[in-house]
Chain A
Amino acid sequence: MLTCKQVSNALSKEDYEKLSPMRKFFLKLHVKLCIFCGKFNGQVMESQDMCRCYKEHEQDVESARPKLDTDKKEALKQLLAEQSKR
């Protein structure tokens, strides 16, 4: 049986998909039986799911993001014009 430390190590640092079937089984078993690890795992999964959704919705927040300064834009335009001529 894995300890809580080994479980949280595996959940936080290791790539779940790359774990061996035996390790996956004992991980699942521990997470099902241990109330602390179950909640910890739930919150890590929740956080990862939230970040995945955030990446999918990133276009929705584009309008709220800061814009490039006009001066910087002009300087960049000049630089790009010079570079594209080369």
Chain B
Amino acid sequence: MVNRSFAGNVVLIDSSNDSLNNQLAKVDYTIERVSNPAHCPNSSSMSDPKQPKVEIAPPDTWVDRYGDYLYGFAMSRLRNPEAAADCVQDTFLAGIKALDRFDGSRDIKFWLRGIMRNKIVDQIRKSIKENKVDIADEDEALLESFWFKYSGIATTNPDPWQFNPRKYYDNSEFWVVFESCINQVKEPARQAFILRVLEDQTTEEVCKVLDVSPNYLWVLLHRAREKLKVLLEARWTGKDVK
């Protein structure tokens, strides 16, 4: 008779039954492998909280896996192919440096996109420094009329939508048109809109990046929303007629 410990229970087995004995030995080994990760170095441990919960793609495969995705994302925010490519490169390099801090709680694609958001802000800051917007030269008439309108009591009625955009929220084609309309909005209104609305930066952060006052940011956002509405109406209703 052989005494064999099996998951905490003592099982008595006839030693003459060799095949059964061997099978149980295999089962025992398997249980030990699962419960003790030291015996299987290649498997990821479920009990170790430091181990990533998702697969980490090696950095040399990132370009093939996430290059197009990140470039497309950067293009939707920056509109400039050179700046977008720089942004992808900076993101990958920052990702390699910070890889040991990746906790594996989400897909590495989204982690890289999170890094990219900061790089996009840096690129916008850089482009603002290179092409400084002179508020004095920027259509001041609009600023004046805007201030006049909101100096106390509003006197103008905003135009209603020519179509109900909510109807098309489930239509992916609508979002393609929406994205192309955002890209047609003039700088720096587009940059203000991207940072404040799409990247959820605070008013203070956006003012710092664009180097504008909160009042001017307000004007820029208003202008971007107005232009976006006009462009969407023209593109989408024109599309419907066709």
Contact = CB atoms under 8 A, between A and B. Distances in A.
Interface residues of A, number: 45
A15 B72 CA distance: 30
B233 to A, nearest CB: 12
Interface string A34-68: 11110110011011101101110110111011111
Contact of A3 (B89, B153, B161): B153
Interface stretch (B27-35, B41-49, B56-64): B56-64
For B58, B152, B175, B218, which residue has the most chain A Cβ atoms within 10 angstroms?
B175
B67 A76 contact: yes
A9 B154 contact: no
B169 A53 contact: yes
27 contacts: A3-B153, A4-B150, A4-B153, A5-B151, A8-B154, A9-B150, A13-B217, A36-B156, A39-B158, A50-B178, A54-B175, A54-B178, A54-B198, A58-B175, A61-B76, A65-B75, A65-B76, A66-B81, A67-B68, A68-B67, A73-B67, A76-B92, A79-B93, A80-B92, A80-B93, A83-B93, A84-B59
A47 B196 CA distance: 13
Contacts of B165: 46, 50
Contact of B154 (A34, A51, A77): A34
Contacts of A15: 202
Given A80-B60, A81-B60, 4 more contacts: A50-B169, A58-B175, A61-B179, A66-B81
Interface residues of B, number: 51
A26 to B, nearest CB: 16
Contacts, number: 126
A60 B175 contact: yes
Interface of A: 3-5, 8-9, 12-15, 34-37, 39-40, 43-44, 46-48, 50-51, 53-55, 57-58, 60-62, 64-69, 72-73, 76-77, 79-81, 83-84
Which 10 pairs across A and B sit closest by C-beta, in order of nearness?
Answer: A65-B72, A60-B172, A36-B154, A4-B154, A68-B71, A84-B59, A5-B150, A67-B68, A64-B176, A57-B175
